Homo-oligomer: A and B are copies of this chain.
Amino acid sequence: MTWRDPTGRTLADYPHPSVAVDVALLTVADDRLCVLLHEGRALPGTFLRIEETLRDAALRVLREKAGVSGEEPRQLAVFDDPARDDRGRVLSVAHVDLVPADRLTGALTPVDALPPLAFDHAAIVDAAVAWARAAHRDRPDPRGLLDEEFTLLELQRLHEAVHGGPLPKDAFRRRMQEHLIDTGTLSRGTVGKPARVFRRAPQETP
C-alpha cells in the first residue's frame, strides 16, 4: 500500500533532486598522501540507486572505478549548491576512504599538488584530508596502510605523509608505543641498528 499525503499524492509526485555519491579515495604512495582522480579532474562518483544505501553506492564506486572491494567508506558531508552540476539539481554525498596503494588501480595525485577539479570536488578533497589527519592523530594506523608488522620508522613515515610535514621523533614514539605490541623480533637487512618490529594493538574502527 503506497502512502499518500492529504491531497492524495504519493512521494513520487513531487520533484526530487538527484543524489550522487562521490568518493575521495586516499592512499599513501611514495610517502605522499594522494587521491584517486578520474580523468585527471574529478573524483569517482555515481548516482544513488533507489534501492541502495549510500554505503553500497560508495562501495560500488570503489569497486568499479578503483578496483578495490571490502572497504569502509565514510560519509563526510552533503554538497548541495544548486549550481554545482549543470545537468540538473544534484546533491552529492561526499565520502572518503583510505586504502593501501597496492590495492587500487587508477591515477593518483598528491593532495598538495591538485589540478583544478570539477564541480566542488576540491572542497571534498579538503574534507577528506582533514578526516584522514584526524583519524591518525591518536591512532597508529587506523586503516591498516602498513603491513601487519612494521617498525616505528615506517609508522612515522606514514604519519608524516598523512600529516604533510615532519613530526618530532621522540614524542611520536612515546605517544605511539602504548598503542602497539612489541613482537620481539627485529628488522633485518637495513643499514643501522635493527629496529624492533611492532603490531597494531586491537583497535576500534574509526
Contact = CB atoms under 8 A, between A and B. Distances in A.
Contacts of A191: none
A11 interface: yes
A185 interface: no
B3 A50 contact: no
A202 interface: no
Interface in A83-137: 86-91, 93
- Size category, A interface: 20 to 34
Contacts of A203: none
Nearest to A91: B19
Interface string A166-182: 00000000000000000
A53 interface: yes
B3 A14 contact: no
Contact of A88 (B11, B15, B54): B11
Contacts of A204: none
A193 interface: no
Given A16-B17, A86-B3, A77 B80 contact: no
B81 A48 contact: no
A15 B50 contact: yes
B54 A78 contact: yes
A11 B3 contact: no
A51 interface: yes
A79 to B, nearest CB: 9
Contacts of A69: none
A40 to B, nearest CB: 21
Given A50-B89, A54-B91, 12 more contacts: A3-B86, A3-B87, A10-B88, A11-B18, A11-B47, A11-B90, A14-B50, A15-B50, A17-B48, A53-B82, A75-B77, A75-B78
